[in-house]
Amino acid sequence: MKIRVGFGYDVHQLAEGEEFWLGGIKIEHNKGCVAHSDGDVLIHAICDALLGAANMRDIGYHFPDTSNDFKGIDSKILLKKTVEIIAEKGYSIGNIDSTIALQKPKIKALIPKMQETLSKVMGIDLDDLAIKATTTEKLGFVGKQEGISAYATVLIEK
């Protein structure tokens, strides 16, 4: 068996009047992500980590923000396609560890729903997807509630 690891990172600006999608679910909040797609930073970080682990470039290469095909797209569709792309090269997901950096809203209670949603999209066991959340103690763009970021580390197997 061959195993590989990958790392992904994404960031989006937060603005009033935008929908807020995170971990595949819509969250009620006075701000949402400014983005070409739905702006789900967690999914985007996971996609980048999976593609990187398989040495298949990045999310922008496969789903460019210059294409109208992806304007406003549900990021769960991108995630499902990413899993299919790495499977074409013979890889499957071993596990995912991720962290969301967000000052507000508090999302601890929503993490199980995110895990359930994303594990179904990827066809993996719930126990193989860790999602954690942190603040930046009011420091930087996250702390000032100007943006959100997410990090993901994945293990894939062939």
Binding-site residues for a divalent metal cation, in ranges, read 10, 12, 44
**Residue 158: closest CA among 94, 96, 92:** 92
Q: Which residues pair with 99 in a beta bridge?
A: 132, 151
CA pair distance 156, 153, nearest whole angstrom: 10
Q: CB count, 10 Å around CB of 148?
A: 26
CA pair distance 54, 4, nearest whole angstrom: 7
DSSP-derived 3-state class of residue 132: strand
Sequence ranges of the binding site = 10-12, 36-37, 44, 58-60, 134-137, 141, 144
Give the number of C-alpha atoms closer than 13 A to the C-alpha of residue 115, restricted to the C-beta side: 20
